[in-house]
Amino acid sequence: MIPLFDIAAQFVNIINPDIDATLKVSTGYTTAADGKRTPSFTTVTGLKINQQGQMNSPELAQVEKLNIQGVKDVVYIKYPVDGVVRASSKGGDILTYNGKNWLVVHILEDWPDFTKAVVTLQAS
């Protein structure tokens, strides 16, 4: 059985093709003797994402009070991603595409075969 996401992706990719991406999955952090924390990541390469661009009105309403500032984007990815998860001390995953790093800040949809996420552009 073909997942619904794959069926829809065939048509979406005609006008908005997937792009290559690398994902740095947050694995928490390490703490130095002086108390300074350094985030740690596992890198996943060879991913394809679908960049949707600006958020629509319902998506804007969903993140309105999160105080997310900066350049935002919406992406679909066939891989589980997370924003900040305080309970597990994770700091947010980082997607790299089009030569830029984007922090996953909010999950709009989380399905078994794909995730729709809000990302925000990071300084180099």
Banded model confidence at residue 100, pLDDT cuts 50, 70, 90: very high
pLDDT at 101: 96
- Residue bearing the bigger pLDDT, 99 or 56: 99
* Domain count of the fold of the chain: 1
Structural domain boundaries, residue 98: 4-121
CATH number, domain containing residue 36 = 2.40.10.270
Nearest alpha carbon to residue 94 among 68, 117, 62: 117
Helix (H, G, I), strand (E, B) or coil at 43: strand
Helix (H, G, I), strand (E, B) or coil at 59: helix
Question: Mean of the pLDDT values across residues 58-65?
Answer: 64
Helix (H, G, I), strand (E, B) or coil at 15: helix
Taking the alpha carbons of 110, 106, 22, 12 in that order, is the dihedral positive or negative? positive
DSSP-assigned beta bridge partners for residue 7: none
pLDDT at 55: 66
Percent above pLDDT 90 for the chain: 37
